[in-house]
Chains A and B, each alone.
Chain A
Amino acid sequence: MKKLKVFLLVLLLTLNLLISSSCWNYKEIEDIAIVAGIAVDYEEDTDSIIVTSEILYPSASGAEIKVLSRMITDKGENFFDAIRNTVSKSGMKLFWGHAKVIILSESLVKNKDELITIVDWFNRDPEPRHDIFLMISQDKSPSEILTSDIEAENITSFYIEDALLNESSVSKYRAITLWEFVTDLAEPGISPTLPTIKTIEESNRLSDEISGCGIFKDGVLVGYLNGIEARNHLMIINKLKGGLITEREIINNEPIMISLEIFDNKTKITPKYVDDKIVMSIDVSITVNIAEIGGEINFIDEKYRNILIKNTEKEIKNQLNGLITKVQQQYKSDIFGFGKLISEKKPKLWNQLKDNWPENFQDLNTEINVQVKVRGSAIRSKPITVGG
């Protein structure tokens, strides 16, 4: 009896090992091509999708093993077709578990169907992660973005991901993951944005720069915002976590540039309905340090500091007003989530407005209040002044 028990136990354990460690689905690492990032382009005339993938492979040199990357480009009728074609080219099936970025070309994001199929594939397939980053390429051929000459970084997709993770230090773009994009697409009171990336060339070297974002309406790209506008957008949606504001003051006919480092931002938006008009009351509060004074005037002492604060508040208010108006009239897309806010705070009102939201969005007014609080001035209490 005991022997039988032991035998059954061993049998159970072995079966367990086989099944629960997914032996049936095992993949040898040499048989798969690990994708670090892809660039997807849409060719209108041929109605085909071109996919460039950056594949990782280990390379041993001496005692070291380095991870390098290479590019595979494939064409197909649609996205799924294109990536399956890579198997015939590379001999390996693509593994998406480590993919960090998806770069979509401008032509692609202007075509709603193609965009949706690709986003849907990534959303549906279990292998890619939902926190993969999406971006729009402003270049003619997005595959160039993945080939950069920077030697300090072997794998372009990884350093693009680094830049996106460090969004809070620059705040001139907003990093969007797949799931955030899909959520905002589906949500009625808000339209998504995606950061833009382009190649730049300097000293005979290709690298990439991320700045600004693209605005979507109804799932299609309708326009772009530059870096500062993207920062203001972050401010309005209360997602600004760092970055800086540069302010130009003119004292005694001398222009002085001042950098204010942003440490904290709280934006509170209250929707109001006054005289049949929607008014969004936006209260912005920013905490900054005076990080740099480009001249000899003492903006740290009360007298000029108050001037600096007032001017900055005015400037930010103007920029925010300008941004909201521009988006309302030119792009007519609610990227600020005003609709979503109304649905949360005034649901009855939202029920009236939601069917016609794009038009209602254009008509709404805003009341903006900006408060800038200066926390300190790093380690110096005075600007550099020339003594003799």
Chain B
Amino acid sequence: MKYKVTFLILIISFSFNFLTGCWNYREINDFRIVTGVAIDYDKTNKEYILTVEVIKTIADENEEKMTGETFVSNGATIFDAIRNTITESGKRLYWSNATVVIVSEEIAKRGIVPVLDMISRDPEMRSELLLLISKEDTAREILTSKSIAPQRVVSYSLETTLENEESSSNFHRVAAWMFIKDLYSEVNSPTCPGVKLGIYDETQTIEGTTVFKGDKLVGWLDKNETKYFLWITNKLKGGVYNLDISHKENLNIKELNLEIFHNKTKQKLKLKDENIVIYLDINTSGNIGEFSGNIDISDPDEKSKIENIIEKQIQRDIELLIKKLQLGYQSDILGFRSIVKKEIPDMWKSEIKENWEKYYSELEVNVTVDFKIRGSSNSSKPIIIRD
């Protein structure tokens, strides 16, 4: 009988020892907590240059501030470079709090698959890392640039900006795993935002969207084109839209700013004699942010006149972007293949998939925009200048 008790105690203590992963136990002090990583490629040595930003806590007076510090290492592959950081930093890297991965434009142009495999495959890495392409010469300078107080860690301030995508819509945040999912996909082409350094103050700005064909970077959308991209793909949730209408319609408005509140884009497809026609039905509502001119919004006629102007402008901008993507980059980041596969799967499987380039360059897009002004902030009447 008493053997049972000893046996029980033995098993419980063994279980504590082994089932809790004790064989693999790691003290947190034995690690460097990584917040972000930047990847560059050195052509002469044929090596990857990895820059990791880690947290160092500084106890200062009564406060404990978190600041970031960078370590650089080289390696024949990303895995090699990650392990080689130990030769310099002493401790192993801990990835669970990492937020961003920045890849240099050069690597993206050559083909981004080699640097992404590790992120997807290794269980210690988080594939939820947010992907950014550096618009500067290297990805490293982004992580080593100054960070804005109170966030002293560059990666965390980049993450905060990316989380606030909806307020500006100058970029669209993409997690590494979603990028990889789109790489695999036969109907989507991946995109991700770009980051650059300001000219005057060395801080980071996230702006623009990459256009990938396969896994190679072929072009960029600037911040305005990003908005049209988000419009078309029904991902627009906010932001400020600038209209340049001074030469239009003989109106006394020179500039108009819109704050977008809500958007819904419906995509439909119809076949017209072997040609694909995509119908985009856009419903947007927003506020007038600021304008200069002589129009009175509270007057319903004037209001619908403005709405018309806005609708036409949006339509034109969107059509321009689509053309640019069709003929210039020949890359379908707008997800048109997805609509084709959904609506005419048999034709997609048999003909269109193989000859997508031809179909894409020839497809027509029919855009209808319905814009509603919800309000004009605080004042409905313009500022009057009378001399």
Residues of A within 8 A of B (CB): 61-64, 66, 150-153, 158-163, 166, 169-170, 172-173, 200, 202-203, 207-211, 243-244, 246, 248, 256-259, 261, 291-296, 377-380, 383-388
Contacts and interface: CB of A to CB of B under 8 A. Distances in A.
Nearest to A212: B87
A257 B59 contact: no
B62 A63 contact: yes
A386 B69 contact: no
B76 A246 contact: yes
B233 interface: no
Contacts of B269: none
Interface in B81-101: 83-84, 86-92
B16 interface: no
B114 interface: yes
Interface SS of chain B:
mixed
A258 B77 CA distance: 7
A346 to B, nearest CB: 37
Interface in B19-77: 30, 32, 54-56, 58-62, 67, 69-72, 75-77
B279 to A, nearest CB: 22
Interface stretch (B118-126, B222-230, B240-248, B270-278): B118-126
B310 interface: no
Given A152-B69, A295-B113, 15 more contacts: A152-B32, A159-B89, A161-B90, A162-B90, A163-B88, A166-B86, A166-B91, A169-B83, A172-B84, A244-B83, A377-B121, A380-B120, A385-B184, A387-B183, A388-B337
Contacts of A259: 77-80, 118
Nearest to B356: A388
A388 B185 contact: yes
B214 interface: yes
A378 B123 contact: yes
Interface SS of chain A:
mixed
A172 B81 CA distance: 12
A4 to B, nearest CB: 48
Given A246-B77, A388-B185, A169 B86 contact: yes
A322 to B, nearest CB: 18
Contact of B69 (A150, A158, A291): A150
Contact of A208 (B55, B62, B88): B88
Interface in B103-124: 113-114, 116-118, 120-123
Contacts of A207: 71, 88-89
Contacts of A161: 90
B317 interface: no
A66 B59 contact: yes
Contacts of A386: 113, 183-184, 214-215
B318 interface: no
Contacts of B118: 259, 291-292
Given A170-B87, A294-B113, A378-B121, A203 B79 contact: no
B255 interface: no
A292 B88 contact: no
A151 B70 CA distance: 10
Nearest to A173: B87
B336 to A, nearest CB: 11
Contacts of B180: 384
B144 interface: yes
Contact of A292 (B32, B117, B186): B117
B309 interface: no
B189 A294 contact: no
Contacts of A379: 121-123
B185 A387 contact: yes
A384 B54 contact: no
B187 interface: yes
A170 to B, nearest CB: 5
Contacts of A172: 84, 87
A183 B186 CA distance: 63
20 contacts: A63-B62, A152-B56, A153-B90, A159-B90, A163-B87, A163-B88, A163-B89, A169-B86, A170-B84, A170-B87, A202-B72, A291-B122, A292-B121, A294-B113, A294-B114, A296-B113, A385-B183, A386-B215, A387-B183, A388-B356
